[in-house]
């Protein structure tokens, strides 16, 4: 399938693809709730309480039942994605058994934003499913007679996980909605760092490190969120442009640091863009006399 458009009429804020990066409990999920419209959080962290009370926000939490039962969350995520591909009407999203996920939502409540929260936990759910169902990918350690843990055995396991994460991410990117993917950050290790003697560059990277390729290839915006001192208080701030510590980036017309409110960020971008546009009917402004050669 191809999608052809005249880009002169497109705007960066039409359908956002934003990676939100930051430390734990610094306001990443809260920032995503400030996007206008109806937001569906795919909650892989089991932390939906962090966004309790937010208007127009709905959450579906995915979790595995635990050993010795088969991990089911990865399949359930795919089921929900398939529903979204059929309809963005929140009232028509259904479980496997055909019952509505949100039975009390009015018909016609259309999703405008999907949030993956968080990508590291999405990867863990996919890995759990793969290791359980593919013995060649795992090694097993027994912890007593009634408990065992499974670990990736080789790079095939990591590659399979990345493939699953990318598949889910790209399927939601194909939908006519805004997409926000939340990543955890960690200190960036230097090339000569080892487990025994870790060394760091002073910069920030994402966790897990192998997800860095996702940021480079697929997002229009990469925002870092962190608590910042402001008038004696620590409040979340959004760093949308690169600095010495992290390679943020944005396709929108914004300042280096923004208030943690996406609605206000969008208004600022649209206002600045409209002011900078000059219509053909306006023509060219008169040149100063000194430049025009008029005495």
Within 10 angstroms of residue 241's Cβ, the number of other Cβ atoms is: 17
Q: What is the reported pLDDT for 230?
A: 85
Q: What angle do CA 229, 235, 239 make, to 5 degrees?
A: 85
Res 286: pLDDT: 43
How much is the pLDDT for 278?
Answer: 58
Measured distance CA(60)–CA(260) in Å, rounded: 24
Q: Are 58 and 90 a contacting pair, CB within 8 Å?
A: yes
Residue 222: CB atoms within 10 A of its CB come to 24
The token duo for 246 is: 């992290």
Q: What is the pTM of this model?
A: 0.88
Res 12: pLDDT: 61
Distance CA 116, CA 236 (A): 20
Q: Would you say how long the chain is, in residues?
A: 295
Residues 100-127 pLDDT 10s: 999 999 999 999 999 999 999 999 999 9
Which pLDDT score, from 0 to 100, does residue 68 have? 83
SS (H, E, C) the chain: CCCCCCHHHCCCCCCCEEEEEECCCCCHHHHHHCCCCEEEEEECCCCHHHHCCCCCEEEEECCCCCCCCCCCHHHHHHHHHHHHHHCCEHHHCECCCCCECCCCCCCCCEEEEEEEECHHHHHHHHHHHHHHHCHHHEEEEECCCCCEEEEECCHHHHHHHHHHHHHHHHHHHCCCCEEEEEEEEEEEECCCCCCCCCCEEEEEEEECHHHHHHHHHHCCEEEEEEEEEECCEEEEEEECCCCCCCCCECCCCCCCEEECCHHHHHHHHHHHHHHHCCCHHHCCCCCCHHHHCCC
User: What is the structure's pLDDT at 295?
Assistant: 36
CA–CA separation, 185 and 205 (whole Å)? 6
- Identify the pLDDT of residue 8: 66
> pLDDT at position 165, please?
97
Encode the chain (295 residues) as per-residue pLDDT tens digits.
566 766 666 666 578 999 999 999 999 999 999 999 999 999 999 999 999 999 999 999 999 998 888 999 999 999 999 999 999 999 999 998 889 999 999 999 999 999 999 999 999 999 999 999 999 998 988 887 778 888 898 899 999 999 999 999 999 999 999 999 999 999 999 989 988 899 999 999 999 999 999 998 999 999 999 999 888 889 999 999 999 999 999 999 999 999 999 999 999 999 998 887 755 555 444 434 433 343 3
Ordered domains of the chain (ranges, CATH): 13-292 (3.40.50)
Any residues with CB less than 8 A from the CB of 189 and at least 6 apart, and which? 198, 199, 200, 201, 205
């Amino acid at each position: 399938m191809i999608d052809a458009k005249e880009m002169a009429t497109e705007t960066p804020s039409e359908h956002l693809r934003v990676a939100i990066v930051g430390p734990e409990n610094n306001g990443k999920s809260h920032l995503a709730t400030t996007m206008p419209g109806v937001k569906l959080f795919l909650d892989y962290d089991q932390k939906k309480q962090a966004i309790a009370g937010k208007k127009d926000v709905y959450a579906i939490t995915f979790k595995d039942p635990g050993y010795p039962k088969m991990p089911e969350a990865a399949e359930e995520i795919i089921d929900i994605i398939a529903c979204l591909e059929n309809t963005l009407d929140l009232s028509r999203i259904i479980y496997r058994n055909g019952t509505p996920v949100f039975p009390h939502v009015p018909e016609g409540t259309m999703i405008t934003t999907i949030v993956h929260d968080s990508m590291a936990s999405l990867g863990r759910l996919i890995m759990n499913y793969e290791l359980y169902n593919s013995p060649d990918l795992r090694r097993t350690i027994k912890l007593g007679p009634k408990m065992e843990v499974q670990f990736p055995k080789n790079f095939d396991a990591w590659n399979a996980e990345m493939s699953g994460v990318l598949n889910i991410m790209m399927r939601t990117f194909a939908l006519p909605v805004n997409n926000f993917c939340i990543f955890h950050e960690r200190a960036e290790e230097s090339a000569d760092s080892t487990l025994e003697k870790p060394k760091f560059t002073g910069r920030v990277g994402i966790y897990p490190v192998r997800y860095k390729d996702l940021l480079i290839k697929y997002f229009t915006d990469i925002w870092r969120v962190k608590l910042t001192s402001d008038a004696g208080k620590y409040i979340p701030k959004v760093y949308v442009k690169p600095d010495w510590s992290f390679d943020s980036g944005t396709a929108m017309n914004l300042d280096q640091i923004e208030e943690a409110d996406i609605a206000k960020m969008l208004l600022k971008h649209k206002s600045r863009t409209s002011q900078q546009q000059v219509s053909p009917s306006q023509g060219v402004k008169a040149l100063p006399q000194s430049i025009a050669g008029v005495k």
